[in-house]
Amino acid sequence: MDIDKVIADITFAIYSDHELISENMNPFMLYEEEFQGNLLDIGCGQSPVILEMLHTPLNFHAIDPDKKQIEYLIERIERLSPGREIHTYKEPFKSGLFPEVRFNYIVMSNLLHLKIQMPHLEEFINDVEQIMAAGARVLVIVHAGEDKGSDRFRYFSIEDLELLFPRERYSVIYKAQHWGDPPKFNIRFGERYCSMVLDEADITDPIQRRIETDAYNEGNDFSSISFMAQRIL
């Protein structure tokens, strides 16, 4: 089973545009009065951040190697704001793709904690820095907490992020951590995801299905950090 495709399909199928926006923390909205210039969402998926900002004058750019995610994002934008322009790139991020654009707002939401796709974080951030405008604001959302020995995810503290965005070059302008019970959003996702995996494994016994699904939901830690840094120069 192609997990990325399944994630894109389930997200599109079960989350309305409103739910996707309202479950997401988007502290860029604190600066709404000042919005101008270019915004880039790196690893955009179905970009809750852009969906929330469609009414603003920003020029949107979104990049994701997962073509399905980009198609779903375009469909959501067309539904919410028909004709709204967005530049999309269906490939992994590299600064060389943007020789002429400098970005005032950059989003990396649920991207940096992906261990396999993001093996060298410092190099990656240095490359992103090449396309920042002076004073650019960078929003990062990541899994929070202690390392759980996962092959797929790394877990961050706020201090880890402060090291990635050192104070010689960035001011930290927002940091928040969410703890606690999984939001309803993630539980619904887990139910649908497990159902597909269990169907594929031909597990039909309802009790066993419940046990496996509960174990999946309990094993997930939904704590997250939302962090914003501003490029000083």
Ligand X SMILES: C[S@@+](CC[C@H](N)C(=O)[O-])C[C@H]1O[C@@H](n2cnc3c(N)ncnc32)[C@H](O)[C@@H]1O
Q: For binding to ligand X (CB under 6 A), which residues are involved?
A: 4, 42-45, 48, 63-66, 69, 92-93, 109-111, 114, 117
CB of 111 to ligand X, least distance (A): 5
Q: Residue 38: enclosing H or E segment and its boundaries?
A: strand 38-42
Q: What letter does residue 87 receive in the DSSP assignment?
A: E
The closest residue (CB) to ligand X is 45
For the CB of residue 2, give the shortest distance to ligand X in the complex, in Å. Answer: 11
Residue 110 vs 223, nearer CB to ligand X:
110
Please report how close the Cβ of residue 65 comes to ligand X at its closest, in angstroms.
Answer: 5
- Cβ 48 to ligand X shortest distance, Å: 6
- Distance from C-alpha of 31 to C-alpha of 73, rounded to nearest angstrom: 23
| H or E element in which residue 21 lies | helix 17-22
Exposed / middle / buried, residue 24 (Cβ in 10 Å: 0-12, 13-18, 19+)? middle
In the complex, the smallest distance separating the C-beta of residue 126 from ligand X, rounded to whole angstroms, is: 14
Question: Which one, 186 or 230, has the nearer CB to ligand X?
Answer: 186
Q: Which is nearer to ligand X, 14 or 209 (CB)?
A: 14
Q: Is 93 exposed, middle or buried (0-12, 13-18, 19+ CB in 10 A)?
A: buried
What is the total residue count of the chain? 233
Q: How many CB atoms lie within 10 A of CB 15?
A: 19
In the numeric block, which tokens belong to residue 155? 């877990």
Q: Which is nearer to ligand X, 47 or 104 (CB)?
A: 47
Q: Using CA atoms, how far apart are residues 159 and 148, in angstroms rounded to an integer?
A: 18
Of 6 and 133, nearer to ligand X (C-beta) is 6
